[in-house]
Each structure stands twice: as C-alpha cells, then as structure tokens.
Amino acid sequence: MFCKRIARLRAIALLTDRRGTSGTEFALLLPMLTILLMGVFDYGSLAYDSMQVAAAAHAGADYALHNGWSASGVQTAVTGATTLPQVSATPAPQLTTACIVSGAIVATTGSTCAGGGTPGSYVVVNAQAPFTPLVSWAAFALPWTIAARATVRIQ
C-alpha cells in the first residue's frame, strides 16, 4: 500500500514537472524558424541583386547620356557597374529615333512627330543577371533571371 502511494505520487510529480518543456518547444520550432530565416535571406538576396541589375542598366544609360552612342561603351558600362559576376547587357543596347506619344516612346522614321515636335535619339539599355536562391523553392515561382531596362534621350 505504501509502495502504491509512492508510485502514485511519483507519477503525479512526473506529470506536473515542467522542466525541459522550453527545450522541447524550441526543438519543435527550430525547423520552421530555419526555413523562415532562409526565406528572408533569399528574398533579401533577390532584392539586392535586382537593385544591382537596375543600377547596371542605369549606368549604361548614364554612359550614353554623357559620352554619346557607343554600343560597346554602353555594354562595358553595364558590366562594370556592379559586383555581380554575371551581369550582361542583353539584349544589346539600341539607338532609336522616336517621339513621345501619350507618355510612351514610339519609333518613327519621319522628321516630325505626330504632335508637331522633332524626334529625338533614345538609347535603350537592358541588363540581366541570373538569380540562384539559397534553397530551391519548388512551391514558389521565382524569377530566375533578373532583368532591368533604362531609356535615355541623348539628342
């Protein structure tokens, strides 16, 4: 009888003992927190790479604005503007004679625009780079190639 009472008290003490519960909760939450942290890191990397590609496109447009049209010069400015190793000026920069119609640049072959102005020379600079996330997120569609475009009137 005495042994049964001690056994019952030990069982009750074991059921009410809270030591180690925080460690168990942490062990259960750690995988979810790790996945969340990797997602935050991948999103941050994507945002950083996107800003670098946009800066490279703007650097090519800035080169054309200050130095005039040179396809090779614009491409060199794009690839040299960032620390990303695989940034390229793809598709190649283009020089276009165009007019602005309703806020859009429309190519023209004439000497006057529909609105009465004279057409200008525009340089369209494209930049792109591949993006590789830390984790291959099969459930999410990520842009695996980051692209940016900048347009500047040089004349």
The pLDDT confidence band at residue 143, using thresholds 50, 70 and 90, is low
CB 146 within 8 A of CB 82: no
Report whether pLDDT(64) > 90. Answer: yes
The pLDDT confidence band at residue 142, using thresholds 50, 70 and 90, is low
pLDDT of residue 124: 95
CB 87 within 8 A of CB 51: no
CB 99 within 8 A of CB 115: yes
User: Residue 67 has which token pair?
Assistant: 């130095």
What mean pLDDT is predicted for residues 131-147? 79
Average the pLDDT over each of 6-10, 14-18, 53-57 and give the range with the smallest value: 14-18
The pLDDT confidence band at residue 14, using thresholds 50, 70 and 90, is low
Which candidate, 66, 130, 69, places its Cα nearest to that of 95?
69
